[in-house]
Amino acid sequence: MSGAGAAASRTLTVAPGPRARTVRTDAGEVLAVPEGWEHLPPGDAGLTRRVKAAGPTWTMKEKVGRRDFSRGLWAPAAHIASAQRALERERATPEYERKLAQGRERRAKEQVAYEGDFRRAVVAFLRFAPRHAAMASELAERVAAHATVVGSGTVGRTQRISIAERAEAAVIAWMRHATTAYDHMQIARVKGRRREVRRELAKGSRALLERYRRGEAPDAACPLAKALATPRPAETATSEAPPTPAPAPRARAPRAAAAVSSPPTPTPAPRAQAPRAAAAVSSPSAPRPTPPARRPPPPAAPPGDEPAAREARQAAVRARLARRTTR
């Protein structure tokens, strides 16, 4: 693990190492984390920016499948502590609270505008005939409500492709889950097989959309018409009656009062065995049950002879153990 001292003066992008306080470079070299450095977990973008600006850091990323996940960074402990103190002082001011409120309001307006643009892009992709304009509007609403949620990770949130391409991919993805049996398919765990299944289902979805573009009347078995006729989750939740609160348990109170006001009733003797015993005696054909053999009590020792009594009990225990082992 040579070269760790020289690497400490450079900013690197590394992966978690094989052992604690080790990292692996892109070239495969394993480096030990320098003394006096600490790990800063991900999650606070402001703090991370300040620590990176303070000096050299080792940013950790781990590749899982085709995606890279942040694992925080390694940096000098003094830089992390200094950045934390400065950030805490800044976040305690009223100006910072106003800045946060303005940021939330700005992002909310941007989200509303993006949802509208996305719905219009979906309608433009659908190009349904005028007789199906209401269906196109409903489909656009449902696709946008699913694909534009902040932090959902859906194709509607990516910035790598244009909004028209996002709208097309979001419609095909929504139809794959809502109009096909994709969610219940048993797909073989073979490389590329799931992609092939999605491609075949996308062909069927595009053919179904073409029917509405030509203005054909949907039949009763149309999966898209059935999916759009199903109420949205929000509508289902609001249309249902509010749950009736469960009544308070009342059975315990009378029993408790009876137990306090009346004297305890003696437990009746079991009666289930008496008829069976009588039937066994009166019936000549029924075999009489053999009572279990009782173990003889240990011999009683004379008064004042405690060692002899103890030895007799031990002998009785040894005899019982011997009988158990011979059975």
> Do residues 124 and 186 share a domain?
yes
Across the range 24-51, mean pLDDT stands at 94
In sequence order, what DSSP letters do the residues of 233-292 get, joined into one string?
Answer: HHHHHHHSPPPPPPPPP-SHHHHHHHHHHSPPPPPPPP-SHHHHHHHHHH-SSSPPPPPP
Residue 230 has pLDDT above 60, yes or no: yes
> Do residues 135 and 85 share a domain?
no
Provide the 8-state DSSP code for 71. E
Residue 226 pLDDT: 92
> Do residues 190 and 129 share a domain?
yes
42-54 per-position pLDDT tens digit: 999 999 999 999 9
| Long-range contacts at 215-220 (CB < 8 A, ≥ 24 apart) | 215/129, 215/130, 215/131, 215/132
Residue 186 has pLDDT above 50, yes or no: yes
> Do residues 70 and 124 share a domain?
no
Residue 294 pLDDT: 59
Residue 225 has pLDDT above 70, yes or no: yes
> Do residues 232 and 129 share a domain?
yes
Residue 34 pLDDT: 93
Residue 277 has pLDDT above 60, yes or no: no
In a domain, 261, yes or no: no
179/196 Cα distance (integer angstroms): 18
Q: How many domains does the chain have?
A: 2
2/209: higher pLDDT: 209
Last residue of a domain, one of 236, 263, 298: 236
In a domain, 325, yes or no: no
In a domain, 285, yes or no: no
For 16, the 3-state DSSP assignment is: strand
53/217: higher pLDDT: 53
229/120: higher pLDDT: 120
> Do residues 75 and 120 share a domain?
no
In a domain, 274, yes or no: no
267/64 Cα distance (integer angstroms): 67
In a domain, 78, yes or no: yes
Picking from 25-34, 94-103, 194-203, 296-305, which range would have the lowest pLDDT averaged per residue? Answer: 296-305
In a domain, 197, yes or no: yes
Across the range 172-178, mean pLDDT stands at 95
264/196: higher pLDDT: 196
Q: Give the confidence band of 259 by pLDDT, cuts at 50, 70, 90.
A: very low
Strand order in the sheet with 37-40: 30-32, 22-24, 12-16, 58-64, 67-76, 37-40
> Do residues 145 and 197 share a domain?
yes
Last residue of a domain, one of 58, 91, 124: 91
> Do residues 73 and 139 share a domain?
no
Picking from 83-87, 90-94, 202-206, 248-252, which range would have the lowest pLDDT averaged per residue? Answer: 248-252
In a domain, 308, yes or no: no
Contacts of 295 (CB under 8 A, 6+ apart): 320
60/15 Cα distance (integer angstroms): 5
Domain enclosing residue 193, as ranges: 115-236
Last residue of a domain, one of 236, 258, 283: 236
In a domain, 168, yes or no: yes
> Do residues 159 and 87 share a domain?
no
54/47 Cα distance (integer angstroms): 11
In sequence order, what DSSP letters do the residues of 80-118 get, joined into one string?
Answer: HHHHHHHHHHHHTSHHHHHHHHHHHHHHHHHHHHHHHHH
> Do residues 58 and 137 share a domain?
no
55-105 per-position pLDDT tens digit: 999 999 999 988 899 999 999 999 999 999 999 999 999 999 999 999 999
> Do residues 201 and 128 share a domain?
yes
279-314 per-position pLDDT tens digit: 333 344 444 555 555 555 555 555 555 666 777 787
> Do residues 76 and 150 share a domain?
no
Residue 72 pLDDT: 95
